[in-house]
Structure 1
């Protein structure tokens, strides 16, 4: 077998791997990136994301009068993630992120010409556990597509680009470890099926998590609190995020931790344009807050699910139902005001940095997006009356299980409460909507207590939503240098793991759930830390 020698090998060309590569080039180190995908997809899943990142202490927050601090962020993180051990590797990484989100992540992105919208968003406030105390979710102007493009462009045109080599359509099948030191990798050329070995002083694993592929690892590590894995589970992760490297390392005494901690979304639909070769490709919606969420029979969830509030809570309660999927009921007026897609392909005004179009969408509604979703997806049901809507909903299920009378009763009760006036609101969803609209960033995209059955706001829209896999909250354990740690707690010399491969840091930086926006941020954080440690510098 042919053997090639390199100085530093990075396994994976996503945001974490690219961040590590830039750090190494900045320090005049030679780098080989081995990427399984085609060149067109260089940049990974970040390229298709909405591009939201969590920061604490940004100029955007300060200008808006948002009083935040690293300590407040850390306290929110520990509570929401349900950490019980503040000295665990994951908790240490969470503290490190909280303290350095500006210096290591925000400032670095700004230096690459990445910019953010002035309005800071406020997801994950929490249902039964308090989440973000203040708005922290910063949307990249241009979405993840622009962020990925600018960071990738910086890498490819780096002043030391002669030190960089990239091998596309190559798959790392195994990490070679001898006497607790990583010495190389075994590689397959996907196009020619040629196998060969590469030796290297340092290897950085940046190959993603376990939430993609054929979803087998997702289901085999299913959390017991989430009932059973649904047959309808959609794939919202990368098609090559199959956990192959995790399984390889486990055989060598380096087991991953917390793989049953997984970040799923509650409002997935089958992708209208599925990616070639991707199993059960799904699209993640950002559902409307003013929509009424009901189970497969048409019964409203109690307490009501209010979109954008607590992702894990939603997933857990939907999966407790027999059919394990849900519907959100709204009308045209609500949909064009509030509905969005968690991805760059559909959010064209954001992706294309079209200010006039964005202002128009905010003021008059994103009619083009809703029309496109209705046209492209069978999960969007439209009708002028509730009777016709339910008939169409039931056509999607042979058992005709949506109960018109139950749904009508719940919707009428909700609308009647709106008619009585805001000072008499006692419905939990309406109380939360009142609170949301107190903050400018939420008010501009939340309807003013819109009734569902209002004939002037029609037609009615029902969206059939499935659980969609997204991110691994667990992974390869690492210390604060991004060095891999084996089952005995010993450092594997020359081996690093970054991004989702490492559970975004320490094998579990998020704990049980995320404050949202910490995924892209921790890819940059862990990648830069690994590169700096190899180069012998500090950030």
Structure 2
């Protein structure tokens, strides 16, 4: 549950240096929509899920701007198209990202396969742009139980107890042939998951899930697309881009063992049941924000230092007001947080008055 925004009192602190480290805007869907780059991604989706807690609401960005700080690159954000509603939410609108392997078929809201350059687990922002330009803010993964067991992992510390608990035993359990506990939980409880033994039943459930006011997936057209894909599995010179991609991925032993199922027909009962997952846009990273110099000092709109105000991490676009560009991201995005925090800490250490020195 989000903290109350009702003021119950007031207080005041004064300091020679104030550091803003409040994060981005991903928990504030109204602000996300306001800054949505419609020229690149099409209209902002009506429905999104939040990949960060409600307190990451961008409030301190506005407060800093009111104090004189300049904002830059405010249209640069990084969201994911493979989000889904968490069946066991920790915060309002809590979304979980699927981090997929390459085998699921990816469809737009109307049931059309995404273009050949958009493979699950590939170029996130290109997929986000394509889906956004359809005018619908959601898409579908079509897969089966074998693919879900082998290729699906989820973002979020609570979804990965093997890593949070530093348990080698739990990590090794993911290498087995069975279904992971986290994936099974979404199969059982996830509101975006549809499961059926045959394609007719699957399509019916997909259309019921979105309702009659949304595009309806046509069973015959979806069957044709799946059969076209599956017809190339036995062809050593496959003409299907996704089958070729899967084969290439499996040449790397790590992906073959852990992340990539052997090519097979999606509707083969041995690999069933069939699964469809409705995917929503998941908000995540804010790549622009408060402009600073290399020491993390906030700048005004004329490039002058704003005395006493500093910004670090995501609120400053991970450094300076945007260190990544609009279509590139440093691997973990923690590097910019750590480095900008270090630079501000050093600046404060050497420039602020020492305690007892008349300050």
Same fold (TM over 0.5): yes
Offset at residue 420 of structure 1 (A): 1.6
Matched, 1:341 2:154: yes
Matched, 1:389 2:173: no
C-alpha separation between the residues in 1 aligned to 2:120 and 2:276? 15
User: What is the CA deviation profile of residues 280-309 of structure 1, one whole-angstrom value per residue up to 9, with x for unaligned ones?
Assistant: 332222133210000122211122521221
Offset at residue 468 of structure 1 (A): 1.3
Contact 1:411 1:452 in 2 (8 A): yes
Q: What residue in structure 2 maps to residue 534 of structure 1? A: 348
Alignment of 1:104-123 (within 5 A): none
Contact 1:294 1:300 in 2 (8 A): yes
Q: What residue in structure 1 maps to residue 317 of structure 2? A: 503
Q: What residue in structure 1 maps to residue 14 of structure 2? A: 199
Q: Which residue of the other structure, out of 520, 523, 535, is the alignment partner of 2:334?
A: 520
Q: Which residue of the other structure, out of 169, 180, 183, is the alignment partner of 1:367?
A: 180
Q: What residue in structure 2 maps to residue 411 of structure 1? A: 226
Q: What residue in structure 1 maps to residue 136 of structure 2? A: 323
Offset at residue 368 of structure 1 (A): 1.8
C-alpha separation between the residues in 1 aligned to 2:144 and 2:161? 22
Matched, 1:494 2:314: no
Question: Closer, same or farther in 2 for the Cα pair 1:451/1:536, shift >3 Å?
Answer: farther
C-alpha separation between the residues in 2 aligned to 1:238 and 1:259? 20
Contact 1:246 1:255 in 2 (8 A): no
Matched, 1:307 2:89: no
Q: What residue in structure 2 maps to residue 450 of structure 1? A: 264
Contact 1:474 1:507 in 2 (8 A): yes
Q: What residue in structure 1 maps to residue 85 of structure 2? A: 270
Offset at residue 507 of structure 1 (A): 0.7
Question: Closer, same or farther in 2 for the Cα pair 1:191/1:322, shift >3 Å?
Answer: closer
Indicate the SS of the match to 2:264: coil
Matched, 1:479 2:281: no
Indicate the SS of the match to 2:125: helix
Matched, 1:436 2:235: no
Aligned residues: 346
Offset at residue 493 of structure 1 (A): 2.5
Contact 2:68 2:306 in 1 (8 A): no
User: What is the CA deviation profile of residues 376-406 of structure 1, one whole-angstrom value per residue up to 9, with x for unaligned ones?
Assistant: 2121111111111111111113327011111
Q: CA RMSD in A?
A: 2.1
Contact 1:293 1:304 in 2 (8 A): no
TM-score of the superposed pair, with normalisation by structure 1: 0.61
Q: What residue in structure 1 maps to residue 357 of structure 2? A: none
Q: What residue in structure 2 maps to residue 13 of structure 1? A: none
Q: What residue in structure 2 maps to residue 353 of structure 1? A: 166
Indicate the SS of the match to 2:277: strand
C-alpha separation between the residues in 2 aligned to 1:442 and 1:504? 31
Contact 2:138 2:278 in 1 (8 A): yes
Indicate the SS of the match to 1:506: coil
Q: Displaced runs of 4+ in structure 1, greater than 4 A?
A: none
Offset at residue 324 of structure 1 (A): 2.4
Alignment of 1:195-274 (within 5 A): 195-213=10-28, 215-223=29-37, 224-274=39-89
C-alpha separation between the residues in 1 aligned to 2:253 and 2:341? 34
C-alpha separation between the residues in 1 aligned to 2:36 and 2:329? 21
Contact 2:23 2:58 in 1 (8 A): yes
Indicate the SS of the match to 2:176: helix
Offset at residue 425 of structure 1 (A): 2.2
Query: Unpaired segments of 5 or more residues in structure 1?
Result: 1-36, 39-168, 170-189
